[in-house]
Amino acid sequence: MKQIKIAIIDDHDLFREGIKLVIGQIENFDVIFDTSNGIFFLDFLQNSIPDVVLMDINMPIIDGIETTRKAIELYPSLNVIALTMFSDTTHYTQMIDAGIKGFILKKSNKFELQQAIVTVNSGGNYFSQEILQKLAFQNVNFTSGLNQFTHRELDVLNLVCKGLTTLEISEKLFISVKTVEVHRNNIFRKSDVRNICELIIWAIRNNYFSVE
């Protein structure tokens, strides 16, 4: 497995050091940068691009929302996972709009952290199930709509919600990557959402997907 280069941005020094210790115990994970300041991270990106970024939401000077937005504007393929407390619900949708690829609770264990990083690094999305449940019953600004999906679109929708990448879906359903992309585009259009996280929330609300 290729080494995964990770950056950690969190203004709590003890928490950041703890994350570094945990990541140091995982094979092929390498923390190449950590800071308490979003501005320092944006400066760092001019010289090196990590594979996965773990981003705190609440930080002084420039918060995780603005840091993420600016970073993804500069590097659209950047993989950002939000580090969050369960009580940070007011900021969830803002981080989604900024372009994150996942949410993980700060109380999560080593296994979930590893799973989140590997999933996002491989092109998938990872959202803590506790956060998805909370988001699904919030007043998120997109409509539920009435939509007719084909059987194949329902298959793709289910696998997208489970976090599989386009390639993984194509292999599982024995269809081409291009066909998966067509189905994904149709699903996005019919559900009237803008990104994977909104799609999962929409699917939960409309009983197309359930969080275990």
| pLDDT tens per residue, range 33-46 | 999 999 999 999 99
Least confident of 152-156, 169-173, 189-193: 189-193
Predicted confidence at residue 212, as pLDDT, reads: 59
User: In terms of residues, how long is the chain?
Assistant: 212
Q: How many domains does the chain have?
A: 2
Return phi, psi of residue 112, to 5°: -70, -40
State the amino acid at position 176 in one-letter form: S
Where is the domain boundary, 101, 134, 167? 134
Gap between the Cα atoms of 111 and 104, Å rounded:
12
**CATH number of the domain where residue 130 is located:** 3.40.50.2300
SS3 category, 4: strand
Indicate if 94 and 187 belong to the same structural domain. no
What are residue 29's DSSP bridge partners?
A: 4
**CATH number of the domain where residue 165 is located:** 1.10.10.10
DSSP 32-57: EEEES-HHHHHHHTTT---SEEEEES
Tokens of 89: 């619900």
Predicted confidence at residue 194, as pLDDT, reads: 79
Least confident of 40-49, 79-88, 147-156, 172-181: 79-88
Indicate if 118 and 174 belong to the same structural domain. no
Gap between the Cα atoms of 167 and 194, Å rounded:
21
Indicate if 65 and 116 belong to the same structural domain. yes
Where is the domain boundary, 88, 107, 134? 134
Q: How confident is the model at residue 86 (pLDDT cuts 50, 70, 90)?
A: low
**15 located within any domain:** yes
Task: Name the range with the highest mean pLDDT among 37-51, 119-133, 141-155, 191-205.
Answer: 37-51
**83 located within any domain:** yes
Q: What is the mean pLDDT of the chain?
A: 88
Exposed / middle / buried, residue 99 (Cβ in 10 Å: 0-12, 13-18, 19+): middle
Indicate if 41 and 120 belong to the same structural domain. yes
Q: How many CB atoms lie under 10 A from the CB of residue 192?
A: 14
**Between helices 13-24 and 110-121, what is the axis angle to 10°?**
80
Residues 6+ apart with CB under 8 A from 150: none
Least confident of 78-82, 173-177, 198-202: 198-202
Where is the domain boundary, 82, 109, 134? 134
Indicate if 76 and 114 belong to the same structural domain. yes
Gap between the Cα atoms of 14 and 18, Å rounded:
6
Q: How many CB atoms lie under 10 A from the CB of residue 145?
A: 11
Indicate if 26 and 116 belong to the same structural domain. yes
56 has a pLDDT exceeding 90? yes
State the amino acid at position 212 in one-letter form: E
**109 is in which domain, residue-wise?**
4-134
Gap between the Cα atoms of 53 and 184, Å rounded:
25
**212 located within any domain:** no
Predicted confidence at residue 138, as pLDDT, reads: 62
Least confident of 152-161, 163-172, 198-207: 198-207
